Amino acid sequence: MKLLNEVAERLLQNLVARKEDDWIEWIAQPNDWQDDCDKFNGCYFNAKQMPKHPQHENCQCRLEKIAKPIPNVTARATCDIRKFAGYVFSDKYDNGKKELFESWGYTIEDSEYLQQLYISQVLQKYCNGDYVFKGAGKRYGRVEIVIELPISNKKRQMIKTGWILLPKGEIKLSTPFSGFAN
């Protein structure tokens, strides 16, 4: 029976026939189960970076094919300026981020510049499927996106940033720096 279920699951997946560059909207059925399905509801995923589907046995989630998202038309990125002004450059947190950004030539005065730079780069990358799906957090699906940050001496630093996925193509900054990228 288990084998039969697996075969059926695979057949169902093939029916959807996702191609690498396809985009899908995840449609969850509201339920009381302690699963991650609801967290993905309404979110847009590139077929090569998406949650496992089905998530579990009896998962009722559906995938609907959608057009590739277009920046600021069918996808949006938001980034609270406090992520920089009140976190990265805050003295309240002793996590080395302030020193790091300052070593790259940025101060709290650059918060708005960083906000705009993050938004434009990340939105473009997300819409190109250039992100890594990182599973589900407490309430939302999470993705990691690499940003190319101009730093002192006309150099560039590639850094990893963390975003949460909201319905209808919206991504929101959660972690302004989660590590170095190559």
Give the residue among 28, 42, 64 at the shortest CA–CA distance from 169: 42
- Check binding of 43 to Zn ion (CB under 5 A): no
Size of the site for Zn ion (CB under 5 A): 4
Q: Minimum Å distance from CB 6 to Zn ion?
A: 17
Is the Cβ of residue 49 or residue 157 nearer to Zn ion in the bound state? 49
- Long-range contacts from 87-91, C-beta under 8 angstroms, 24+ separation: 87/176, 88/114, 88/176, 88/177
Comparing CB distances to Zn ion, the nearer of 31 and 116 is 31
Tell the residue number behind the tokens 């709290």, with chain if given.
108
- C-alpha to C-alpha distance for 136 and 144, rounded to whole angstroms: 12
- Is residue 161 within 8 A of residue 146, CB to CB? The reply is yes
Per the CB < 8 A criterion, the answer to whether 27 and 42 are in contact is yes
Nearer to Zn ion (CB atom), residue 86 or residue 137: 137
Over its C-alpha atoms, the chain yields an Rg (Å, rounded) of 19
DSSP code, position 32: -
Binding mask 44-83 for Zn ion (x = CB under 5 A): -----------x---x-x----------------------
Nearer to Zn ion, 47 or 61 (CB): 61
- Give the shortest CB-122-to-Zn ion separation in angstroms: 27
Applying CB under 5 A, among 37, 79, 122, 159 the residue interacting with Zn ion is 37
61 or 164, CB closer to Zn ion?
A: 61
Chain residues binding Zn ion by CB under 5 A are 37, 55, 59, 61
